[in-house]
Amino acid sequence: MDLSELKEGQTATVVRVGGDGPFRRRLLEMGFLRGTEVYIEKYAPLRDPIELILKGYHVSLRVDEAARIEVENVRG
């Protein structure tokens, strides 16, 4: 399942970060590593971007960027 498919209030575990080049590297630097738990804080009014919490800090990603992150173990 992609990170962009989750609903507000759900938590999931990162399985894989797709893409290539500088954008993928930047996601990894921000903490989107295999095994990291990600909580969906909220969506913007038009559902883009998404506010996430991981490793104790808030991150906003566009829906198409979040679609590159594969997650599992969805809770909430």
Mapping DSSP onto H, E and C, the string for 10-61 reads CEEEEEEECCCHHHHHHHHHCCCCCCCEEEEEEECCCCCCEEEEECCEEEEE
φ, ψ (nearest 5 deg) of residue 19: 90, -175
Structural domain of 65: 3-75
Query: pTM to 2 decimals?
Result: 0.90
Residues 74, 13: Cα–Cα separation, whole Å: 7
Q: How confident is the model at residue 57 (pLDDT cuts 50, 70, 90)?
A: very high
Q: Is the per-residue pLDDT at 19 higher than 90?
A: no
The predicted pLDDT at position 28 comes to 94
Q: What is the mean pLDDT of the chain?
A: 94
Q: Is the per-residue pLDDT at 20 higher than 90?
A: no
> How many domains is the chain partitioned into structurally?
1
The predicted pLDDT at position 76 comes to 83
List the CATH number of the domain containing 70: 2.30.30.90
